[in-house]
Amino acid sequence: MLEAAALSKSFGDHVALHPLTLRVAPGEILCLLGANGAGKTTTINLFLDFIPRSGGRALVDGLDVAAEPLETKRRLAYIPEQVQLYRTLTGVENLDYFQRLSGRPPLDRAALLALCDRVGLPAGAADRRVSTYSKGMRQKVGIAIAIAKEARALLLDEPTSGLDPQASNEFSALLAVLRDDGVAILMATHDLFRARETGTHIAIMKHGRMVDRFAAADIGHADLERLYLDHMRN
């Protein structure tokens, strides 16, 4: 569903991403681990066609993102580190707006409220302006937007950083549901624990290169931490 083939990006002399090849199939969660500047966000930006690539290709559902920038975006959903919403609008108004703009048929109010409930927004919060929302609540609205869009691929850029453990846990549980529904998920994260818990695959990135890649089931948490730190030290 998500595929990079020798995808690369340079900013002048600086190579932000060396040729990268990866695939995320439906029902898989690939977690990109790595320090800041490792190329995780660059990879996501290239899939979104927000920055022009320097080489290779990025495909969504077999379509090249640079050739079909609108069509590929309609098939995926993007959740940034901080989901940003329109502060003067309520949660349900925000959800409605993003839903309508994603080109999907609009949902009625009951369906929107059901969605808010499904992602675990506290009762009554849906009709409050989002300026009163915590970060965890905003991330939940982000997930609700992705679910409403019925996206077949999900791009997540450190979506749980700064969330308290409970919120982070709830978020991961929602991701697991989407994974089980057959959504292909590419997630950049710093959270080794969550990566192993919810990810199906893990890739470690360093200085714009993918230096390791393995199935999450093949590794214990302690081993993952050791492996990660070894890569960072070398």
Burial 76-110 (b: 16+ CB within 10 A, else e): bbbbebebebeeeebbbbbbbebbeebeeeebeee
N- to C-terminal Cα separation, the chain:
33
Q: Give the contact letters, 132-171, x = binds to another protein (CB under 8 A), - = no.
A: -------------x---x-----x----------------
Query: What minimum distance in Å lies between the beta carbon of 34 and another protein?
Result: 21
- Answer for which of 88, 220, 222, 234 binds another protein (CB under 8 A) is 88
3 state DSSP class of 182: coil
| Binding segment (CB under 8 A) for another protein, from list 27-35, 67-75, 203-211, 216-224 | 67-75
Q: How far is the CB of 76 from another protein (least distance, A)?
A: 8
C-alpha torsion sign, points 117, 122, 126, 132: negative
Show contacts with another protein in window 188-227 (CB under 8 A): none
Q: Which is nearer to another protein, 81 or 225 (CB)?
A: 81
Minimum CB separation of residue 182 from another protein in Å reads 20
Residue 64: strand pairing partners: 59
Q: Residue 100, interface with another protein (CB under 8 A)?
A: yes
Of 141 and 210, which has the nearer Cβ to another protein?
Answer: 141
- Quote the tokens at residue 12: 């002048």
Question: Which window, 22-30, 35-43, 100-108, 113-121, contacts another protein (CB under 8 A)?
Answer: 100-108
Closest CB 82 distance from another protein, rounded Å: 6
Residue type at position 157: D
Question: Judged by CB under 8 A, which stretch of 22-30, 33-41, 69-77, 191-199 contacts another protein?
Answer: 69-77
Which run of H or of E encompasses 32? Answer: strand 29-33
Q: In what order do the strands lie in the sheet with 184-189?
A: 76-79, 153-157, 184-189, 29-33, 201-206, 209-215
Q: Which residue type occupies 45?
A: N
Residues in the site for another protein, rule: CB under 8 A?
Answer: 48, 50, 69-74, 76-78, 80, 82-86, 88-89, 93, 97-98, 100-103, 145, 149, 155
